Amino acid sequence: MDTGIFGEYVLWVLLTVARVVLIVVILYYVLRGVLNKWKQRKTGHPRQTAVCPHCGWKGKVSIHAGRCPRCNRPLEDRKMDGET
Ligand SMILES: [Zn+2]
């Protein structure tokens, strides 16, 4: 009876299982992140380029955001363009 080989085998199995579990967990989180991004792009908030009339910031913001990320004032130039 050689328990040393058995012990090494158990250790190898445990290491293999741990690696597989780790890979599955990483894949799960990566896939979930990709799916969330894809969902947001498809159904969520459409993004558009906006220019802040107060501080001149220019960039992409959500249509529903309505506020400048730099000075936190409302981006109201879009509405003014539409009305006048
Ligand atoms: Zn601003």
DSSP state of 2: -
CA of 56 to the centre of ligand 1 (A): 6
pLDDT at 2 (0 to 100) = 60
pLDDT at 20 (0 to 100) = 98
Instruction: Let me know whether 20 and 51 are in one domain.
Output: no
Contacts of 55 by beta carbon, 8 Å cutoff, 6+ apart: 68, 70, 71, 73
CA of 40 to the centre of ligand 1 (A): 25
CA of 75 to the centre of ligand 1 (A): 8
pLDDT at 22 (0 to 100) = 98
pLDDT at 29 (0 to 100) = 96
Domain with 73 in it: 47-83
Instruction: Let me know whether 54 and 77 are in one domain.
Output: yes
- pLDDT tens for the chain, 84 residues long, are 566 788 889 999 999 999 999 999 999 999 999 998 887 766 666 777 888 888 999 988 887 777 888 999 888 755 444 444
